[in-house]
Amino acid sequence: MNPEFAEFRRGVIRPGECIKEGWALIKDQYWLFFGISIVGMLIAGAFAIVLMGPMMVGIFICLLQRQRNQPVDFGMLFKGFDLFVQGLVVTVLKMIPTFVLLVPYYIIVVVTMFATIPRSGNPPAQESQRLVFSFVGLELLFFAGIMIVTIIVEIFFMLAYPLVADRRMSGLDAVKLSFRAAKANLGGIIGLLLLNGVFGFIGFLCCIIGLYFYLPVAFASHVVAYRRIFPDMGSSLPSPPPPPGNWA
């Protein structure tokens, strides 16, 4: 990897400012970005692992284009397919922790089922009650584990898709750099995710659809946070050397 591509800023995330700047970034074209976000997530959700990557990369391509004050159109969402493999690699790596958690969960479910098979001498009602409590406890533990793993994954993968969209990095390199940069900006990223989560929950309480209206603002806040950590390479790369033979 180019060493310059690995440079990033530390401790630069202010959650409230990122959300405010994210709204300012898209408010003049809110409905365009609303459509981009909703269609992108619907396609990603319908085809899960396969199309999640290119759709997320496409959303961030659009937002980064807007951030550079360049024109954005709806079709730009599908430019994420130009980076299909990179986006797919990020998605697969992002889902590995969840699958790792699912395997022991299903093993425990099977063991619990055999352990709670009714035994002779016990009243059927007692056995049923024990079975219900066992599965409820198991589901609560699994839900808590999934929530914890999801939060941790979101923290350390938050910058991976924008890195693919902005710097055309390989999926693996984007994930590695996202981990390093997230660790260096841990407090700010956690704060941003929590604040977006609060606003998203408020939107969910507003007849559920409010969550969808907030979605483009959440994506925009991520782009603002990303750019604070990773400055635009166009403004920071050194000038190219003069052509051979021209030493003026």
Report d(CA 217, CA 238) in Å as an integer: 33
User: Which pLDDT belongs to residue 131?
Assistant: 62
Give the pLDDT score at 183.
95
Structural domain of 179: 9-230
Residue 68, domain member (yes or no): yes
> What is the predicted pLDDT for the residue at 120?
54
In a domain, 246, yes or no: no
Quickly list H helices, the chain: 15-26, 30-67, 84-115, 124-157, 160-167, 171-184, 186-205, 209-229, 233-236
Q: What is the pLDDT of residue 104?
A: 74
Is residue 138, in this structure, part of any structural domain at all? Answer: yes
Q: What pLDDT is attached to residue 48?
A: 72
Is the CB of residue 115 less than 8 Å from the CB of residue 88? no
Q: For the chain, 248 residues long, give each residue's pLDDT as a single digit of tens.
A: 454 455 799 999 999 999 999 999 999 999 999 999 999 999 998 887 899 999 999 999 999 999 999 999 999 999 999 999 999 999 999 999 888 877 777 777 677 666 655 555 555 555 556 666 666 776 777 777 778 888 899 999 999 999 999 999 999 999 999 999 999 999 999 999 999 999 999 998 887 888 899 999 999 999 999 999 999 876 443 333 444 443 33
pLDDT at 1: 45
pLDDT of residue 109: 67
What is the distance between the alpha carbons of residues 74 and 218, in angstroms, rounded to a whole number? 18
In a domain? residue 80: yes
pTM confidence score: 0.81
Within a domain: residue 136?
yes
Total domains present in the chain: 1
State the pLDDT at residue 237: 37
Question: To 10 degrees, what angle do helices 171-184 and 160-167 make?
Answer: 120
Show the tokens assigned to 222. 């991520």
Backbone φ and ψ for 13, nearest 5 degrees, come out as -95, 125
What's the pLDDT score for residue 199?
A: 94
21 contact partners, CB below 8 Å, separation of at least 6: 220, 221, 224
| Residue closest to 182 by CA, chosen among 158, 201, 165, 198 | 158
pLDDT at 247: 34
CB atoms within 10 A of CB 11: 12
State both tokens at 224: 């603002």
Domain presence at residue 58: yes
Backbone angles phi, psi at 43, to 5 degrees: -65, -45
Give the pLDDT score at 47: 80
Compute the CA torsion angle 29, 33, 39, 43 (nearest 10 deg).
150
Residue 242 lies in a domain: no
**Does the residue 4 lie in any domain?**
no
